[in-house]
Amino acid sequence: MIWQFKEKARRRLAREAGTVVKDWGGKVRVALVFPNTYYVGMSNLGFQTIYGTLNGQPDLVCERAFLPDPDDLAEHERLRVPVFSLESQRPLTDFDVVAFSTTYENDYLNLLTILALSGIPVEAAERDQRHPVVAMGGVCAWSNPEPLAAFMDFFFLGEGEESSPEVFRLWREIHRTERDPGAARDRFLRQLLTVEGVYAPRFYDVRYAATGSVAEVVALEGAPLPVRKRRLARPDDFDTISVVRTAETEFGQMALLEVGKGCGRGCRFCLEGEIYRPVRHRHLEAIVRGAERLAAGGKRIGLVGACVSDYPWIDDLVRGLRAKGVDISLSSVRADSLSPDLVQALVESGTRTLTIAPEAGTERLRTVIHKSLTEQRLFEAAELIAASGVPSVKTYFMIGLPTETAEDTEGIVELAKRIRHRILRHRRDARRAVEMTVGVSSFVPKPWTAFQWCAMAEVRALEETVERLRRQLRKAGIHFTHDVPKWAHLQGVLARGDRRVAELLRLALTHHGDWKRAFREWPRNANYYVCRERALDERFPWDHFEVGTKRDRLEVEYRRAMGLLPERTVRWKAALA
């Protein structure tokens, strides 16, 4: 049966363009693992970027690995077939380092499943010189790595384009000079304390108060405190682009290109807008350079960023790319930064759906979340969309936001209907009718945001809101999509948890993903982590990290949102300058 899995990997490789295959001789061997399927992992630009960065190092070989596809996972478990790399089909135990790139908290169990399938001890304390060193990077690693501290030898905090080659060069130098593998492993982990943007949890002792919250984090053996993330000062030095092209992704053959890091809007629910501070836009010349590399393999390019339409030179960029015959798509647009030229370029590039995200159904609640978007601006965007002739429009909202009332959720339906009406009114030709979709997700209070003190709504209340919206939107002839509140609740536990959440993950692994049973057997109350308002002086599990945003500034924003301080008018375009 193993040969069938390997043959499937070879067929995937044959359909790829840009795969890097290296000889292993004398090189540091890194398995870069995405803890989800190939389809999901290859759709992730950060994963692709690090793959290209590491393989750009002459003394290092980096190969990819993924969670087996759903149809294959049961057979892997039944036959005890280890997870192996895509490029050479070698088991993960053959590598020096197994490095996970993790973007979603709900993939944590997949991560542990991959280790267990591969014969690598899940617990970091149980590994020795016979096993690879296990690391993790990605957004989850630097927002709050504590729930996975028991399982990782170290974490990459921040943008890894510079720090990851540094770390693996250090591994190589130490193993060249240290003959005892056990001593080399221990020395390597200790030396990591000198690398900015690396967190080795074994060197930090977490102590808890009688209330259950974190009381103190003690650094051991001279470990740095706070632990600082790594930040790229010059993003132009790195092309953040798709390295490998394959049709087996969410984007098909479209290649991705990042226009910048961070967002200056200051939405109070948004993790990305905080942990990527400061905002760093790539210069036009650097983006065009990356686009020219990508255009050699295909003419469709997706521009990626926290808010691409806010890029200061977006119209110049779009005109330049279109002049080169490039079809473009944008990962995110803002209703108040859409322009006629941008919409026209998207439609001419084949875009069939335009998406805007009011986030909340009333201006009152948009003010609370600092989404400075009036109904008038939304209607202006709707008229631009109507003029474009695009056949499909999506609007995204959140439910369960702090201070939300029934009026706010009813406002979602009313606002969607009014946007649809505006579009239809400007399209008198029935053949150009628009299909309207409302997408809803459950608000999860995330670390490093102004709402990190807030409680998450109970699952039952979120489910009732979803059902009510479904009924009302169906009557209005509007399509409706939504997330699953119970999985949003799990995400909240994992995103806001401390080291004691590791026991929940162990139980979920033991019970093969039966989260209901895991929560039942876990001696802690999950709602302690997600459905509880936090005191302003409570210490968070992530407070011993420094990621670029300050707690006192977030507290001011929280107080403003709760009406405890007056709102301050911010001109976001000036803030971006």
Per-domain boundaries in the chain: 2-228, 254-496+547-576
- State the Cα–Cα distance between residues 62 and 98, nearest whole angstrom: 10
Six token digits for residue 227: 């632990």
More confident: 5 or 570: 5
CA distance 571 to 577: 10
C-beta of residue 59 within 8 angstroms of C-beta of residue 169: yes
Q: What is the pLDDT of residues 193-203, one digit of tens each?
A: 999 999 999 99
User: Would you say 203 and 149 are in contact if contact means Cβ atoms under 8 Å apart?
Assistant: no
Q: Which residue has the tokens 């798509």?
A: 329
pLDDT for position 484: 98
Computed on alpha carbons and rounded to an integer, the radius of gyration of the chain in Å comes to 24
Q: Where are the beta strands (DSSP E) in 414-468?
A: 435-442
> If you search the block for the tokens 């682009």, which residue do you land on?
241
Paired tokens of 85: 């790399």
When pLDDT is averaged across residues 252-280 and rounded to a whole number, the result is 91
Tokens 């020096």 appear where? 96
- pLDDT digits 0-9 by tens, 495-541: 999 999 999 999 999 999 999 999 999 999 999 999 999 999 999 99
Residue 188 pLDDT > 90: yes
pLDDT value of residue 21:
95
Q: How far apart are CA 32 and CA 54, in angstroms?
A: 9
pLDDT tens-digit profile of 383-418? 888 888 888 999 999 999 999 999 999 999 999 999
Each residue's pLDDT tens digit, 282-338:
999 999 899 988 988 888 999 998 888 889 999 899 999 998 899 999 877 888 888
Ranking 58-67, 159-168, 334-343, 482-491 by mean pLDDT, the lowest is: 334-343
The CA-to-CA distance between both ends of the chain, in Å, stands at 58
Amino acid at 172: R
pLDDT digits over 347-372, tens only? 889 888 888 999 999 999 999 999 98
Q: What is the DSSP string of 267-336?
A: -TT-SHHHHTPSPEEPPHHHHHHHHHHHHTT-SEEEEESS-GGG-TTHHHHHHHHHHTT-EEEES---GG
Taking the C-alpha atoms of residue 412 and residue 424, their distance in angstroms, rounded to an integer, is 18
SS3 106: helix
The Cα–Cα gap between 104 and 108 comes to 8
Q: Which residue's structure tokens are 């050479």?
A: 88
Coil/strand/helix, residue 155:
strand
pLDDT in tens, 211-258: 999 999 999 999 999 999 999 888 998 889 999 999 999 988 899 999
Helix axes 459-475, 485-496, angle to 10 degrees: 140
Distances (CA, A) of 499 to 54, 109, 212, 402, 496: 30, 15, 12, 27, 10
Q: Which CATH architecture has domain 254-496+547-576?
A: Alpha-Beta Horseshoe (3.80)
pLDDT range class, residue 573, cuts 50, 70, 90: very low
Q: Give one DSSP letter per residue of 375-420, joined into a string.
A: HHHHHHHHHHHHHHT-SEEEEEEEES-TT--HHHHHHHHHHHHHHH
Secondary structure (3-state) at 522:
coil
SS3 514: coil
Q: What is d(CA 540, CA 542) in angstroms, rounded to the nearest whole number?
A: 5
| DSSP code for 538 | P
As a CATH number, domain 2-228 is: 3.40.50.280
- The whole-chain average pLDDT of the chain stands at 93
Tokens standing for 116? 């267990």
95 has a pLDDT exceeding 90: yes
pLDDT at 449 over 60: yes
Q: What is the pLDDT of residues 18-65, one digit of tens each?
A: 999 999 999 999 999 999 999 999 999 999 999 999 999 999 999 999
Beta-carbon contacts of 203 under 8 Å, excluding residues fewer than 6 positions away, are 193, 219, 220, 221, 223
Check residue 370 and give its pLDDT: 95
Evaluate whether 96 touches 59 at the Cβ level (below 8 Å): no
Q: Torsions phi, psi of 232, nearest 5? A: -75, 120
